Chain A
Amino acid sequence: MVWHIFKKDWKLLWVFVLAAASLHWIGSFIVFKLGMFGEETSLSMLSFWIPELAIFGSMFLIAAIVHLEAIPGTRQDWLTRPVPRGILLLEKFLFGLIAVEGPIFISSVFQGLANGFSWRSSLLAALSRVVFLLFFLVLPIFAFASITRNMTEAFIMGCGCTFILGAFLILAGSVNTWMHNTLLGVTHTGIGWIGEVFRFFLVAIAATIILGLQYYRRKTTAARLWLIGFGLLLLASTFLPWEPAFAIEERLSPNRGAGKSTQLAFEPSEEKFKSPFGLLASAESDKRRESREAAEVYLPLRIAGTGNDSILLVDRADVHLIDRSRGSYYHGLGDTFSLAREGSNPQEESLYQQIDIPAPIFRKVADESSKIRIDYSLTLFGLNKSYSLAALDGDERMPGWGWCKTALNESGTAVEVRCMEPGKGPICASIFLENSLSGARDPAVSACLSEYRLFGDRPMSDNVARFGVNLPFRDKSGLTKFPVDGSQLPHSRVVIRMYEPEDHFTRSLDIPGIKLKDWQAQ
Chain B
Amino acid sequence: MIRVSDLWRKFGRFETLRGLSFEVPDGSAFAIIGANGAGKTTTIKVLMNILEPTQGSATVLGVDSRKLSIRELAQIGYVSENQDMPSRLTVEEYTNYLRPFYSTWDRDLERTIAKQLRLPFDRKIGNLSHGMRMKMALMCALPYRPKLLILDEPFSGLDPLVRDEFMEGLLGQAGEMTIFISSHELGEIDGVATHIAFVDEGKLLFQESMSDLTGRFREIRVILEGVATRPSDAPKEWMAMQLTGNVLTFVDTQFDEAGLRELVRSRIGNVRMIDSQPMPLRSIFTTLARAARDGSA
Contact residues, A75-96 vs B (CB, 8 A): 75-77, 79-84
Q: Which residue of B lies closest to A8 (CB)?
A: B97
- Contact flag A11-B93 (CB < 8 Å), given A75-B83, A81-B98: yes
Contact residues, B48-91 vs A (CB, 8 A): 48-51, 70-71, 73-74, 76, 78, 80, 82-86, 88-89
B73 near A80 with CB under 8 A, answer yes
B50 near A77 with CB under 8 A, answer no
Q: How far is the CB of A303 from chain B (nearest CB, A)?
A: 67
B78 near A80 with CB under 8 A, answer yes
CB-CB < 8 A to B78: which residues of A? 80
CB contact between A8 and one of B48, B71, B74, B89 (< 8 Å): that residue? B89
A11 near B84 with CB under 8 A, answer no
Contact of A465 with B by CB under 8 A: no
A82 near B101 with CB under 8 A, answer yes
CB contact between B84 and one of A12, A77, A81, A82 (< 8 Å): that residue? A77
Q: Hey, what's the 0/1 contact readout for B159-191 against A, CB within 8 Å counting as 1?
A: 000000000000000000000000000000000
A4 to B80, CA, bound (A): 25
Interface bin, chain A:
10 to 19
CB-CB < 8 A to A83: which residues of B? 70, 101
CB-CB < 8 A to A75: which residues of B? 80, 82-84
CB-CB < 8 A to B93: which residues of A? 8, 11
Q: Which residue of A lies closest to B51 (CB)?
A: A74
Q: Which residue of B lies closest to A81 (CB)?
A: B101
A220 to B136, CA, bound (A): 30
- Contact flag A79-B50 (CB < 8 Å), given A11-B89, A68-B86: yes
- Contact flag A12-B89 (CB < 8 Å), given A75-B84, A77-B83, A80-B48: yes
A74 near B100 with CB under 8 A, answer no
A82 to B73, CA, bound (A): 5
Q: Hey, what's the 0/1 contact readout for B229-266 against A, CB within 8 Å counting as 1?
A: 00000000000000000000000000000000000000
Contact of A1 with B by CB under 8 A: yes
Q: How far is the CB of A114 from chain B (nearest CB, A)?
A: 36
CB-CB < 8 A to B82: which residues of A? 75
Contact of B45 with A by CB under 8 A: yes
Contact of B22 with A by CB under 8 A: no
Q: How far is the CB of A66 from chain B (nearest CB, A)?
A: 14
A11 to B84, CA, bound (A): 18
Q: Hey, what's the 0/1 contact readout for A1-22 against B, CB within 8 Å counting as 1?
A: 1001000100110000000000
Q: Which residue of A lies closest to B42 (CB)?
A: A74
A82 near B100 with CB under 8 A, answer no
CB-CB < 8 A to B98: which residues of A? 81
Interface bin, chain B:
20 to 34
CB-CB < 8 A to A11: which residues of B? 89, 93
B101 near A76 with CB under 8 A, answer no
Contact of B285 with A by CB under 8 A: no
Q: Hey, what's the 0/1 contact readout for B178-216 against A, CB within 8 Å counting as 1?
A: 000000000000000000000000000000000000000
A82 to B100, CA, bound (A): 10
CB-CB < 8 A to B48: which residues of A? 79-80
Q: Which residue of B lies closest to A75 (CB)?
A: B84
A75 to B70, CA, bound (A): 18
B86 near A12 with CB under 8 A, answer yes
A474 to B261, CA, bound (A): 124
CB-CB < 8 A to B49: which residues of A? 79
A76 near B100 with CB under 8 A, answer no
CB-CB < 8 A to B51: which residues of A? 74
Q: Which residue of A lies closest to B90 (CB)?
A: A11
A1 to B73, CA, bound (A): 17
A441 to B98, CA, bound (A): 76
Q: Hey, what's the 0/1 contact readout for B121-155 against A, CB within 8 Å counting as 1?
A: 00000000000000001000000000000000000
Q: Which residue of B lies closest to A83 (CB)?
A: B101
A83 to B73, CA, bound (A): 9
Closest 7 A/B residue pairs (Cβ): A82-B70, A80-B78, A82-B73, A82-B74, A75-B84, A77-B85, A8-B97
30 A–B contacts, CB within 8 A, in A order:
A1-B100, A1-B101, A4-B97, A8-B86, A11-B89, A11-B93, A12-B88, A12-B89, A73-B84, A74-B45, A74-B50, A74-B51, A75-B80, A75-B82, A75-B83, A76-B84, A77-B83, A77-B85, A77-B86, A77-B137, A79-B49, A80-B48, A80-B50, A81-B98, A81-B101, A82-B73, A82-B102, A83-B70, A83-B101, A84-B70
A-side residues, CB < 8 A to B, are 1, 4, 8, 11-12, 68, 73-77, 79-84
A11-B93, A82-B71 known; 17 other A-B pairs, CB under 8 Å? A8-B93, A11-B89, A68-B86, A74-B45, A74-B51, A75-B80, A75-B83, A75-B84, A76-B84, A77-B137, A79-B48, A80-B48, A80-B73, A80-B78, A81-B98, A82-B73, A83-B101
